[in-house]
Amino acid sequence: MPLTDPALPRHDWTLAEVEALYDLPFTELVFRAAEVHRRWFDPSEVQLSRLLSVKTGGCAENCGYCSQSQHFETGVPASKLMEVQSVIAEAAQAKAGGAQRFCMGAAWRDLKDRDLPKVAAMISGVKALGLETCATLGMLQPHQAAALKEAGLDYYNHNLDTGPDYYSTVVTTRTYQDRLETLAAVRAADISVCCGGIVGMGETRRDRAGLLLALANLPEHPDSLPINDLMPIKGTPLGDSEPVDGLEFVRTVAVARLVCPKGVVRLSAGREHMSRELQALCFLAGANSMFVGGKLLTTRNPDEDTDAKLFTDLGLRPMGSGAAAEPVAAE
């Protein structure tokens, strides 16, 4: 191991090393992740984001977990791209509810140039409210990423979904390399990368380790790393998937914290069916971001009152709302 300080970022992880972290005794793994978390972040702070579907349904991709694919009968109708002012109004409401970042998602295989001006206007309008901006619009070309950056985009979400060996089991309409090329275009445009994956799709622990290995060995670690717990959707190929064990989910959060120590690790989809105690373990293991609001694209999320009580009971606060701890790690 070329770096002796475990809190310093690395980009040369091996699959055996990541698997060895997973295999640690649970309490030891969580303890190590909590230590690294405290080197870079105030453990009492959680970054809050709100997600809005600005274009729902009719997607040409066949991602096996997604209710918005045109390949599956899920009861989600296709809609047109929302109007700019409606998106800005939703963002203003999200800010009033305590959100710090506003994420706009469109069910597209890729962004078309004809839609670029309207999307750019959404981003500029949300940015003007004082919110961080995030978008997930499918695959991007370099010139499109540059235009989104000019409009004020702070983050672009493009998940790897799972490890490379399991990927073709989940989706066949685009390749792992397609996703990596979009991430490269985003980085080249100087947009922060939001990239993670989903657990509970029938993958093995090795596949989960493969996902985190791919993220850790990117040229730059994701600035935001969402860990989604699959929300099975009736009508999709993964609609009858068995849920991943809760402790295994916490292990995944902890390993993500250890291999990407400076990334903001987000509890994304799936909190609706997590207990308060499981979410608390995730925060202990290094998670420090979550989506707020009662809906994530087409699936449910805990309501604001439920999350407010959780924050109170755990002694958490929104990121940046109090005195932040000074990180002691140095690059």
Architecture of domain 15-317: Alpha-Beta Barrel (3.20)
- Cβ atoms < 10 Å from Cβ of 273: 14
User: What are the extents of the domains in the chain?
Assistant: 15-317
Residue-level pLDDT at 2: 46
Rounded CA separation 52/96 (Å) = 15
- What is the predicted pLDDT for the residue at 137? 95
> Would you tell me how many other CB atoms lie within 10 Å of the CB of residue 304?
14
- Geometric angle at alpha carbon 258, from 43 and 272, rounded to 5°: 60
Plot region of 297 (φ>0 → left; ψ -120 to 50 → alpha; else → beta): left
Query: H or E segment at 317?
Result: strand 317-318
φ, ψ at 258 (rounded to 5°):
-75, -35
Phi, psi of 251 (to 5 degrees): -55, -40
Average pLDDT by stretches of 10, the chain with 331 residues: 73 97 98 97 93 88 84 80 95 89 92 96 96 95 97 97 96 94 97 96 97 97 95 87 94 98 92 91 96 61 81 91 43 35
CB atoms within 10 A of CB 90: 19
d(CA 161, CA 227): 9
Contacts of 34 (CB under 8 A, 6+ apart): 43, 284, 285, 286
Query: How confident is the model at residue 273, as a pLDDT?
Result: 85
Gap between the Cα atoms of 146 and 151, Å rounded: 9
> What is residue 65's predicted lDDT score, i.e. its pLDDT?
87
CA 7 to chain centre: 21
pTM of the model: 0.90
Is the distance from CB of 212 to CB of 259 less than 8 angstroms?
Answer: yes
Among candidate residues 123, 118, 117, 150, the one with its CA nearest the CA of residue 135: 123
The residue with tokens 């985009």 is 153
Question: What's the rounded Cα separation, in Å, for the pair 134 and 105?
Answer: 9
Q: Cite the active site residues.
A: 59, 63, 66, 103, 134, 194, 266
Can you give the pLDDT at residue 328?
A: 37
The pLDDT value recorded for residue 298 is: 54
Rounded CA gap, 331 and 308, in Å? 35
